[in-house]
């Protein structure tokens, strides 16, 4: 075998999170400095966005903001839309994503493979137009906008998930670095690590 622990999951949703933290040893660092990376690419769609989408949808369902047959809409340029397409469809929702025309073709292909309907907006109008259109569409009966940019569950997914996972593997963290999109990873994980 490969030396890794494997386990069966009843649902792909159970495979979101609990990603490995690995030490990067091939960098020349000052004595006493150790560098680690959280392998969020191990999530089912290959990104950290699986965490936030799962949480936002499950909380919305628990709060009865969405029900069976609801249509979920979101503005995206990539990973959140892909995660929404996979997770939303898995939970039984219709998924529509509003996307600027200049996104990489591979993103459109993945969105289609996961069953999302793509609504394109002109490149020159960008993500702001996509966000505005998603909000307009969410006014329809039975529609719900994920709203990753304003949804508090975005950072809470990291406060309650990513942060504790890091601390379980590495009780002392001096510096935390994260990519910045909506800010959810940095805000939620950072807040938990500071505590």
Which residues are catalytically annotated?
49
Which stretches of the chain are DSSP H helices?
A: 49-62, 79-90, 105-113, 126-137, 153-157, 163-169, 184-194
Quickly count: other Cβ atoms within 10 Å of residue 111's Cβ. 24
């Amino acid at each position: 075998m490969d030396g890794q622990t494997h386990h069966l999951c009843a649902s792909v949703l159970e495979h979101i999170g609990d990603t490995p933290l690995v030490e990067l040893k091939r960098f020349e660092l000052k004595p006493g400095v150790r560098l680690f990376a959280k392998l969020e690419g191990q999530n089912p769609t290959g990104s950290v966005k699986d965490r936030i989408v799962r949480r936002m949808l499950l909380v919305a369902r628990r709060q009865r903001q969405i029900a069976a047959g609801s249509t979920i809409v979101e503005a995206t340029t990539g990973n959140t839309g892909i995660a929404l397409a996979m997770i939303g469809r898995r939970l039984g929702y219709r998924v529509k994503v509003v996307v600027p025309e200049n996104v990489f073709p591979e993103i459109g292909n993945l969105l289609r493979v996961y069953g999302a309907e793509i609504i394109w907006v002109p490149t020159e109008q960008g993500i702001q137009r996509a966000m505005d259109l998603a909000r307009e569409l969410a006014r329809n009966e039975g529609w719900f906008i994920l709203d990753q940019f304003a949804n508090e569950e975005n950072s809470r997914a990291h406060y309650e998930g990513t942060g504790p996972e890091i601390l379980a593997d590495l009780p002392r963290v001096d510096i935390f670095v994260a990519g910045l999109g909506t800010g959810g990873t940095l805000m939620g994980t950072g807040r938990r690590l500071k505590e």
